[in-house]
Amino acid sequence: MSLTSQVEKWVDEVAELTGPAKIAWADGSKGEYDRLVDDMLRDGTLLPLNSRTYPNCYLHRSHPSDVARTEQLTFICSRSRDAAGPTNNWMAPDEGKSRLTGLFSGSMKNRPMWVIPYLMGPAGSSMSRVGVMVTDSAYVVASMHIMTRVGAVALEHMRDADDFIRGMHSLGDLSPERRFILHFPDEKLIWSVGSGYGGNALLGKKCHALRIASVQARQEGWMAEHMLILGLEDPEGRIAYLAAAMPSASGKTNLAMVVSSLPGYRVWTVGDDIAWIHVDKQGQLRATNPERGFFGVAPNTSAKTNPNGAAMVRSNTIFTNVALTPTGEPWWEGIGPEAPAGMLDWQGRPWKPGDGPAAHPNSRFTVPAQQCPSIAPNWEDPEGVPISGFIFGSRRARVVPLVFEAFDWDHGVFLGSAMGTETTAAITGQVGVVRRDPMAMIPFCGYNMADYFGHWLATGPRLKNPPKIFRVNWFRRDAGGRFLWPGYGENVRILKWIVERIQGRGKALETPIGHVPAPGALDDSRLALPADALDAALHVDRDEWSRALDELRAFYDQFGGRMPTAIWKAHAETARRFGL
């Protein structure tokens, strides 16, 4: 039996069900990418952009009802409802399959079916994993080329004939009524139908590298996290690697490639969205980025907010749902230059100021990671990079200070589990309401989150020097609604304090929720902050925390007896330290 016999058998079964006009195996070559692009330019799936200012860049306009991840249509089909837990949508595996079989049946008639073997993670790494995805969308194939390592390299990393995640994707009729994203963790299987957009359709990303991988990671003793990975280089040339969890569209990509405002400091990018983290033989956590590209939010990406991001999307980039200038350039809100006259909006309609956003708020760029000017020279190191600190960050106008440090590993896990955030346009639904988003994993954890907290807690004792854990919030506002902290390049000042704490140097004050920077400990040289802004940004408010702890209790309660006692203990100790 050959190594690919199971792959071929499964592909045959899918073809039997979906009835494609033909089957094409993707090899990941440049020639293949170019042919896909040519075909899509011909049938209008892609529009060319200005080849002088944006060489090899294209614009794709998705169906107007298919513009973001649809969490309400995303299900974990574990054997039991409890295994998925109260924060996931659950569907019984048999029910999922019988409901979707009808939608997949004949869905590829008259369309080619692509088979994409892809590798998540660097070539040659024991942490990397294989997936095989079938799809009837050429846009998805081209995007997978950018976001993953496609072709023979993937099949070469299979450890046995069954060692691959199966992903079946069809555009269906793109109707939200008939859109489902189902995960069968017990069968290493993903079924996605009815959407061609981002995390719903590029199955290597959220479906495989987070939802399915998080289940495998727990079983196998590693971690699959919704985290960027960066290295902060100090003036002596030492690099400390940090991994940071932040909810979708909350500045994770910007932070991953931030240009330092502090002379002598430099940030190196290893990943901007997902980290696979293993404990090595020495008890050190090591992280790889399973992806090969960035699928970033375009609005507010500019030479000011993210100079490296703005530079990397000037070639070889697929833009989705941005606006188009008359000279064939992409445009979005916050790009910097004013909107020129005669623009088309993200749906291709003539646009004028006052018409509302020209680019969709969740419009995206898809670009090879290698093009990022700050990409770390060792970003594809098969051994991964050693992680010495974790950061949990979310969007909170109130309550959560700019930065603080957990007392110890268990307390840090509690802080991660306590994270709430204001929602953004990355998911369909209301924007700006606070929702609980522990470790930024609420949409991405493929199993019961109480067990996920338990897995984090169990990992700490396996580590020789557990990374220190920090909480950040760049988004705190004053009473007038103004941001208290300038963010972007200035966030390096926070990273600097974090690394100083890791090295045992940074000064801190103890508060009931952890250690905040002592007066003068945050480097604010040449930073003209309004008087008291830093104090206000770091303030720990007893009344606000009292309410937050109540909200948290209600959130934890839904997990019943499954919730680890260490989390409840940290909750109770916080209340006690506040004298509540």
Residue ranges that bind ligand OXD, judged by CB under 6 A: 69, 198-199, 248, 273, 295, 426
Instruction: Indicate the pairing of strand 350-351 with strand 330-331.
Output: unpaired
The neighbouring-strand residues paired with 331 are 323
Comparing CB distances to ligand OXD, the nearer of 56 and 428 is: 428
Task: Compute how many other C-beta atoms are within 10 angstroms of the C-beta atom of residue 434.
Answer: 17
DSSP-derived 3-state class of residue 149: strand
198 binds, among Mn ion, ligand OXD, none (CB under 5 to 8 A by kind): ligand OXD
Report in angstroms how near the CB of residue 226 gets to Mn ion at its nearest.
6
* CA dist., res. 416 & res. 418, Å (int): 5
Instruction: Indicate the pairing of strand 223-225 with strand 180-184.
Output: unpaired
Name the residue type at position 110. Answer: N
Count of residues touching Mn ion (by CB under 5 A): 2
Interface pick for Mn ion out of 32, 66, 136, 273 (rule CB under 5 A): 273
* CA dist., res. 448 & res. 453, Å (int): 9
Residue 272, interface with Mn ion (CB under 5 A)? no
Comparing CB distances to ligand OXD, the nearer of 434 and 458 is: 434
Comparing CB distances to ligand OXD, the nearer of 271 and 307 is: 271
List binders of Mn ion among 231-260 (CB under 5 A): 248
* CA dist., res. 170 & res. 190, Å (int): 12
Comparing CB distances to ligand OXD, the nearer of 414 and 444 is: 444
Retrieve residue 342's tokens.
């005669």
Report in angstroms how near the CB of residue 569 gets to ligand OXD at its nearest.
31
Comparing CB distances to ligand OXD, the nearer of 199 and 467 is: 199
96 binds, among ligand OXD, Mn ion, none (CB under 5 to 8 A by kind): none
* Surface-to-core class of residue 545, CB atoms within 10 Å of its CB (0-12 exposed, 13-18 middle, 19+ buried): buried
Report in angstroms how near the CB of residue 367 gets to ligand OXD at its nearest.
13
Distances in whole angstroms, Cα of residue 153 to Cα of each of 28, 31, 83, 472, 479: 9, 16, 33, 38, 55
254 binds, among ligand OXD, Mn ion, none (CB under 5 to 8 A by kind): none
Retrieve residue 137's tokens.
């969308």
Comparing CB distances to Mn ion, the nearer of 136 and 273 is: 273
Report CA torsion sign: 342, 343, 349, 352: negative
Report in angstroms how near the CB of residue 472 gets to ligand OXD at its nearest.
17
Contacts of residue 348, defined as CB under 8 A and 6 or more positions apart, other chains included, come to 61, 324
Comparing CB distances to Mn ion, the nearer of 99 and 435 is: 435
Report in angstroms how near the CB of residue 392 gets to Mn ion at its nearest.
14
Report in angstroms how near the CB of residue 28 gets to ligand OXD at its nearest.
22
| Helices and strands: H and E segment counts in the chain | 16, 30
Report in angstroms how near the CB of residue 370 gets to ligand OXD at its nearest.
19
- Contact residues toward Mn ion (CB under 5 A) are 248, 273
